[in-house]
Amino acid sequence: MDKAHIPDMATLVSEQYVPYWHESEEVIVIGAGFAGLAAATEAHNAGASVTVIEKMKAPGGNSIISDGGIAAAGTPMQQSAGIHDTPDLMYSDMLRAGLGLNHPALVRKVATRSTETFLWSRDYLGVPYMDRIDQFGGHSVPRCYTAENVSGSTIIRCQVAKLRELGVTMRMQTTLRRFVLDSAGAVCGVAVREGYDHKSPQSGTDRFIRATRGVVLATGGFGADVHFRTAQDPRLTQEIDSTNTPFATAEALIEALRIQAMPLHLSHIQLGPWASPDEKGFGDGPRFADYIVFQYGVVVSPTTSARFVNELADRKTVADAILEVGRPCIGIADSKAVEQSGWSIDRGIEKGVVKVFNHLSELASHYGLDDTALASTMERFNGHIEGKIDTEFDKPILTEARPLIHPPFFGMRLWPKVHHTMGGVQINARGQVIDLEGYPIGRLYAAGEATGGIHGACRLGSCAITECLVFGRIAGRNAATERP
């Protein structure tokens, strides 16, 4: 096709500018992470022809580098382990962390469908999960299941294999340029660029793909988009690292806003409190901090050598507390805590992110802490463990927790990194994108981090994968059952 025939993308929104459709599908899914791949699977299984477009060279997006933890309330595994949990409890945990900004109907859907969706991922997709249930900050009970290899890539691999088995096309290096609207204002297709290469964004060829049933936006968050995120929160300059891939950017979200999607909660940007300033990106430190320090150990201020927060509070609370201290804080655990956790922290130690000390005084000296103040902090905390109640910061004391008196001791510096963007486009409980005036945009669905409203001001750890799969499936099925 002659490129000159394609109108300027800056003005293209209406179908009247589309010279012709290069091809036609029933459902187009944009983005090949957890949400997009779940949407494609359901859309196919609902009988629609589906194509997935993905800007990168391989599927997985930012999902592939997540830690693969998924929350579900009321599972058979919880029952076997004697953990009493319900969707109601998960719902109220999410609302409390979200400071009430969450859209209740969406949270209800995520919580209610969490167990069925988790079992679908295990039994239908074949995702192998580790034989453990963890409790992350802000959750009232252990309800977090972790994919093998502690990696989202385990889930993505199973999702991709399933789509291949079903015969669904996934086109890599294909990026969204514009949504195209018909004369009634409904989405009737997309302009894409094929052969896209992030190293030379002008490369590739523009094409128009018609969608006769629906389009699902599942393009993730904008945590790595310094321009967009600093508009929303000027503190999050390029000086603040991110756990995301560098490709977690806002261009698809911007396209949705261009066609009048209602923006929600864009300034609520989550910082991961378990990140290390001594490595780039997500790294290996969070394993130690999130699964061991926050659960069994302590975080102390470099100024006072004392605790200052409930280490098992939600991410916003802990990250804000560390930022308020103003310098990297020190996470501390002992060998018994590592053993209790069942996790290996070898990679963190090899990288030098997690340090090993035979005595607490060595640890104090290494991190510039006050030896006596630290000893007193540890003594008080060990008292809380023995008393089974944290009278200082109200941290839940886990049943298997033991006083931190077993050398070697482990330490890690903590400084937050941009991790998740709670904001995005508004959807309703059917996964339809809502416009500025409160009406669904015809034939446009969305799921995952591209949407806002589910997590409110603060997402709880392990709720994102649940959300992506629950709403990916809802969006895919509903897009597939639109009348052509």
Q: Which residues are catalytic?
A: 315
Stretch in the footprint of its own copies (CB under 8 A) among 6-14, 51-59, 187-195, 196-204 = 6-14
Interface region with its own copies, contact rule CB under 8 A, candidates 102-110, 130-138, 367-375, 388-396? 102-110
Asked if 470 and 110 count as a contact pair (C-beta separation under 8 A), the reply is yes
Does residue 81 touch its own copies according to CB under 8 A? no
CB of 431 to its own copies, least distance (A): 16
**Based on CB atoms, which residue is closest to its own copies, 231 or 389?**
231
103 contacts its own copies (rule: CB under 8 A): yes
Contact 34, 63 (CB under 8 A): yes
232 in contact with its own copies (CB under 8 A): yes
- Hey, CA dihedral for 9, 13, 19, 21, is it positive or negative? positive
Q: Which of 41, 102, 305, 478 binds its own copies (CB under 8 A)?
A: 102
> Tokens standing for 84?
């009493």
Of the residues 19, 57, 88, 100, which one makes contact with its own copies according to CB under 8 A: 100
Based on DSSP, count helices (H) and strands (E) in the chain, helices before strands. Answer: 16, 19
Query: Does residue 328 have a cis peptide bond before it, meaning omega lies within 30 degrees of 0?
Result: no
In the bound complex, what is the minimum distance in angstroms from residue 320's beta carbon to its own copies?
Answer: 9
239 makes contact with its own copies (CB under 8 A): no
Minimum distance between the CB of residue 54 and its own copies, rounded to whole angstroms? Answer: 22
Quote the CA–CA distance of 238 and 242 in Å, as a whole number.
Answer: 9
Task: For its own copies, give the closer residue by CB, 35 or 181.
Answer: 181
Identify which range of 165-173, 306-314, 436-444, 468-476 contacts its own copies by CB under 8 A: 436-444
Q: Which is nearer to its own copies, 11 or 391 (CB)?
A: 11
Using rule CB under 8 A, residue 434 touches its own copies = yes
For residue 437, CA distances in Å to 4, 433, 452 come to: 36, 12, 16
Residue with smaller CB distance to its own copies, 103 or 355:
103
Q: If you search the block for the tokens 């699902």, which residue do you land on?
A: 216
Cα–Cα distance, 186 to 189 (Å, whole number): 9
383 lines the binding site for its own copies (CB under 8 A): no
Instruction: Give min distance, CB of 8 to its own copies, in A.
Output: 10
Contact between 235 and its own copies (CB under 8 A)?
yes
For residue 460, CA distances in Å to 250, 310, 374, 422 come to 22, 15, 30, 11
Backbone angles phi, psi at 17, to 5 degrees: -90, -5
Residue 426 C-beta: closest distance to its own copies, Å: 6
| Inter-residue contact 93 to 102 (CB < 8 Å) | no
The verdict on 191 binding its own copies (CB under 8 A) reads: no
Residue 426 is a binding residue for its own copies (CB under 8 A): yes
Q: Is 10 in the site for its own copies (CB under 8 A)?
A: yes
Q: H/E element holding 269? A: strand 269-272
Q: Which residues of 53-89 are buried (b: 16+ CB within 10 A; e: fewer)?
A: bbbbeebbbbbbbbbbbbbbbbbebbeeeebebebeb
What number of CA atoms fall less than 13 Å from residue 211's CA on the CB side? 33
Quote the least distance from Cβ 483 to its own copies, whole Å: 22
Q: Is 167 in the site for its own copies (CB under 8 A)?
A: no
For position 104 contacting its own copies by CB under 8 A, the verdict is: yes
Q: HSE of 318 in the Cβ direction (CA atoms, 13 Å)?
A: 34
Shortest Cβ 308–its own copies spacing (Å): 17
Query: What is the C-alpha separation between 37 and 64, in angstroms, rounded?
Result: 12
Among 234, 239, 399, 483, binds its own copies (CB under 8 A): 234
Interface contacts to its own copies, rule CB under 8 A: 10-11, 14, 100-104, 185, 227, 231-235, 254, 257-258, 260, 262-268, 426, 434, 436-438
